[in-house]
Amino acid sequence: MRSSYRDIKAIVLTRIRANIWPPGANLPGEIELAKEFGCARATVNRAMRELVDDGILERKRKAGTKVKSSPTRRAQFSIPIIREEITNTGADYRYVLLERQTITAPGWLRSRVEIPKGQKVLHLRCMHYAGRNPYQFEDRWINLAAVPNAAEYDFEDIGPNEWLVREVPFTDGELVFSATNASSEIANFLNTTDGTAIFTIERTTWLDKVNVTYARLYFSRDYKMTTRL
Partner DNA sequence: AGCCTTTATAAACACGTACATAATAAGACG
Partner DNA sequence: CGTCTTATTATGTACGTGTTTATAAAGGCT
Query: Of these, 12, 16, 48, 198, which contacts DNA (CB under 7 A)?
Result: 48
Among 3, 5, 8, 16, binds its own copies (CB under 8 A): 16
* H-helix segments, 114-214: 160-167, 184-189
Closest distance to DNA from the beta carbon of 57 (Å):
9
Phi, psi at 96, each rounded to 5°: -130, 125
Binding mask 3-32 for DNA (x = CB under 7 A): xxxxx---------------------xxx-
Q: Which of 89, 174, 183, 210 binds its own copies (CB under 8 A)?
A: 174
Residue of 32, 92, 114, 222 that binds its own copies (CB under 8 A): 222
CB half-sphere exposure, 132, CA atoms < 13 A: 0
The answer to whether residue 6 forms part of the interface with its own copies (CB under 8 A) is no
In the beta sheet, which residues pair with residue 206?
172, 211
β-strand pairing of 197-207 with 172-181: antiparallel
For residues 178 and 192, what is the distance between their CA atoms, to the nearest angstrom? 18
Residue 143 in contact with its own copies, rule: CB under 8 A: no
Amino acid at 222: D
The residues that bridge with 211 in the sheet, in sequence order, are: 206
Give CA–CA dist 125/227, Å, rounded: 28
Q: Which residues bind DNA (CB under 7 A)?
A: 1-7, 29-31, 38-43, 45-46, 48-49, 52, 59-65
Q: Which residues bind its own copies (CB under 8 A)?
A: 16-17, 23, 53, 55, 69-81, 84, 165-166, 169, 171-181, 195-200, 207, 222-229
